[in-house]
Structure 1
Amino acid sequence: MRIAFYGSSLLSSYWNGAATYYRGILHALARRGYAITFYEPDAFERQNHRDIAPPDWCRVVVYPATEAGLSEVLAQAGAADIVVKASGVGYGDAELLAGVLADGRSDALRIFWDVDAPATLREIAASPLHPLRQALAELDLVLTYGGGDPVVAGYGALGAQACVPVYNALDPSTHHPDKPEPRFSADLGFLGNRLPDREARVDEFFFKAASLQLGQQFLLGGAGWDDKPCSPNIRKLGHVATAQHNAFNVTPRAVLNISRADMAAMGFSPATRVFEAAGAGACLITDAWTGIELFLQPGEEILVARDGADVAEIIGELSAERARRIGERALARVRRDHTYEDRAAALDALLRQRLAAKRRDMAA
């Protein structure tokens, strides 16, 4: 089974939070026999900040961010049984969507894979002429990074034939316990790029918490924070490559997850960081969102904060021993229930069923 996947980047996590999600689910599909080609534009300096070399389980095509570059890679869509356009590619998104529909074979499964479904739904619901909204009836399937029933219902109301969440998960070969590194020493660490729909929540859950706990050391990783004013107990690292995430997660006493605003409002959208941190055995504190208990048990496998004051209180009272126990339980849970192998098994069955049904209908 051949997949042509048009996404932001598989090779670089630079300004590309979906990278580890793509790697995890596509690698698991490759292990189930899929032949995958990932097409990514040479944009946003991502190729200068690669985290991984092109893997042996996926062919990666980096194309120029030009009209000619788009045309060249879209011409290859016809060779695939499954053609995927991901959200947020960053160059020529509308043209890529149109190309997937025009250049994919009529008997191929044509999919939109949304890695920011709450934001996408808000955008297209307000715009009847939005290219994606107009394309939904022609697409065979919408897959989403998360969102649960609210996202499924939202896409259904706008005309999608089917919408299925494929949640983030753990790849144990990539994210696992590691040796602590002194440069990541802190009481609380947060790793995330500076984004418009996250910054206010980072202000509340991280910067405010730090200002309330000046005796504790806070560590900030991610791009874009250099000029952000902060209290003296915050140390900024800048971009942290994915190969360093395990050490980042296990070294501080606890690490913090902060959802983007739309995802927190929609719920049922655990970020990749949740599973990366749990997979490393970290003690994770997360902002509150509906559906947490479907993935990790609050109070036992994860700690939940309603605001920055809660974060400050938690980190002020959290002992190293309790943090260790929470991290151990989280690690056991995600290894048991939330691996990309689990997600890929369900997705494999779905893709084969949908493709077979489409071809039967065409032959009838």
Structure 2
Amino acid sequence: MSMDIVILGLTLSSSWGNGHATTFRSLLRGLNADGHRVLFLERDAPWYAPHRDLPDPDFCELRLYDDIPAMLENYRDRLLSADAVIVGSYVPEGPRLIDALHEMRPNLLCFYDIDTPVTMDKLDAGDEEYLSPRQIPLFDTYFSFSGGEVLDHLERERGAQRAEALYCSVDPDRYASRPDAPKKWDLGYLGTYSPDRQPPLEQLLIEPAHRLPEMRFIVAGPGYPDDIDWPDNVERIDHLPPAEHEDFYNAQRFTLNVTRAAMRRMGWSPSVRLFEAAACGTPIVSDAWRGLSELLPDGEAAIIAETTEDVVRALTDLNDAERRKIGKGGMDRVLSAHTGRARARDLVRALSSARADAPQAVGM
């Protein structure tokens, strides 16, 4: 049976400088393919306005808003009739919005945290930018893009009624393997600058570039400071829109995955870029964190690198047959369990279970 879902997220319209948009796009395309109805409400942020690469999606209804009270009044009927209302992480004025929605008493009020370890660190530091600790027990389900021990932590330590993993995903119609595509780079990385990701990027890409001057490297993403000393064989792209991601990954012999420090500590936090690269059959070199080897076994579906030497060995010692075998291993695992449609079904199952357990449960 189809569901009507309202999502209030950071952004769907713009992929500039964030991974939320591509995460939501894959999930919402999956929901649409299964016949579910979605309204996505996005704050009209001035920093995204010049960079909207999907202003009118064909798989959901997208509406921008400026003012929380006006938005809640305009969409009151839809918010109250929806099977579920889901608030995402990093939504502007999140605590104010969550309180207002809770007072409205929608059928289900949920949270989708696409930044769970970062969120936990922020709350521990007293930072309530988009969520207050007192609000975690208000949600019928706390969806987390991190799984594993994080879910127990949310329920036992943070008071979540129900914590469910809702990993990122990939749309296989937009990310496909082209094994015969020319390789422009030996190792590439796609990600917005973050101070805590820069040390592993230095260790796992910049230092290998210094040691292997005959090879070609690339780093794509905005926000990098002007004072970074990039080697001559490292190409830079400031922003790469999603429409170009498939070509980008297929043009690399290997691609690098680097994880934020909080996510490495907590583990079980695969990024959307990890799934995109794997869907393209590009062998992944990744920093190490708990849960990665269960998702992509080392040497079979990815290469887990802890040192510069690990990366240099991968780039110099593996032949094309070995490289392609690892890429295919990652691709097979991701396409079997981490597509947008698979993730949409995970979400619908979890919402159905939460609705059935709710005191006011009625048939959907």
- Report the TM-score when normalising by structure 2: 0.90
Cross-structure match for 1:110: 109
Give the conservation status (yes or no) of the 8 Å contact 2:256–2:284. Answer: yes
- Give 1:126 deviation, angstroms: 4.3
Give the conservation status (yes or no) of the 8 Å contact 2:215–2:233. Answer: yes
Cross-structure match for 1:305: 305
For the residues of structure 2 that align with 1:148 and 1:40, how far apart are their CA atoms? 30
Cross-structure match for 1:176: 176
For the residues of structure 1 that align with 2:53 and 2:176, how far apart are their CA atoms? 17
Deviates more, 1:234-243 or 1:31-40: 31-40
Cross-structure match for 1:143: 143
For the residues of structure 2 that align with 1:336 and 1:3, how far apart are their CA atoms? 25
Cross-structure match for 2:236: 236
Deviates more, 1:230-239 or 1:122-131: 122-131
Determine helix, strand or coil for the equivalent of 2:132.
Answer: helix
1:9 corresponds to which of 3, 8, 11: 11
Determine helix, strand or coil for the equivalent of 1:83.
Answer: strand
Cross-structure match for 1:162: 162
Cross-structure match for 1:93: 94
Give the conservation status (yes or no) of the 8 Å contact 2:7–2:85. Answer: yes
Cross-structure match for 1:250: 250
Tell me whether 1:80 sits opposite 2:82 in the alignment: yes
For the residues of structure 1 that align with 2:127 and 2:54, how far apart are their CA atoms? 39
Which ranges of structure 2 fall in alignment gaps of 5 or more residues? none
Give the conservation status (yes or no) of the 8 Å contact 2:154–2:163. Answer: no
For the residues of structure 2 that align with 1:194 and 1:275, how far apart are their CA atoms? 19
Opposite residue 28 of structure 1, the aligned amino acid is: G
Identity across matched positions, percent? 30
- Give 1:178 deviation, angstroms: 4.4
- Give 1:362 deviation, angstroms: 9.1
Opposite residue 205 of structure 2, the aligned amino acid is: F
For the residues of structure 2 that align with 1:224 and 1:129, how far apart are their CA atoms? 24
Give the conservation status (yes or no) of the 8 Å contact 2:147–2:164. Answer: no
For the residues of structure 1 that align with 2:337 and 2:9, how far apart are their CA atoms? 27
Opposite residue 185 of structure 1, the aligned amino acid is: K
For the residues of structure 2 that align with 1:77 and 1:249, how far apart are their CA atoms? 39
Deviates more, 1:28-37 or 1:259-268: 28-37
Give the conservation status (yes or no) of the 8 Å contact 1:115–1:145. Answer: yes
Distance change >3 Å, CA 140–CA 299, structure 1 → 2:
same
- Give 1:298 deviation, angstroms: 1.2
Cross-structure match for 2:259: 259
For the residues of structure 2 that align with 1:142 and 1:152, how far apart are their CA atoms? 12
Determine helix, strand or coil for the equivalent of 2:256.
Answer: strand
Give the conservation status (yes or no) of the 8 Å contact 1:10–1:40. Answer: yes
Which ranges of structure 1 fall in alignment gaps of 5 or more residues? none
For the residues of structure 2 that align with 1:85 and 1:70, how far apart are their CA atoms? 14
Q: What is the RMSD computed on CA atoms of the aligned residues?
A: 2.5
Cross-structure match for 1:342: 342
Determine helix, strand or coil for the equivalent of 1:273.
Answer: helix
Determine helix, strand or coil for the equivalent of 1:187.
Answer: strand
- Give 1:72 deviation, angstroms: 5.1
Tell me whether 1:63 sits opposite 2:62 in the alignment: no
Distance change >3 Å, CA 223–CA 72, structure 1 → 2:
farther
For the residues of structure 2 that align with 1:251 and 1:128, how far apart are their CA atoms? 40
Determine helix, strand or coil for the equivalent of 2:177.
Answer: coil
- Give 1:3 deviation, angstroms: 1.2
Higher relative contact order (Cα pairs below 8 Å, separated by 6+ residues): 2
Determine helix, strand or coil for the equivalent of 1:22.
Answer: helix
State the Cα deviation string for residues 19-66 of structure 1 (Å, max 9, x = none).
Answer: 2211112222233332110111121532322233422221000123x4
Cross-structure match for 2:132: 132
Distance change >3 Å, CA 324–CA 32, structure 1 → 2:
same
Aligned residues: 358
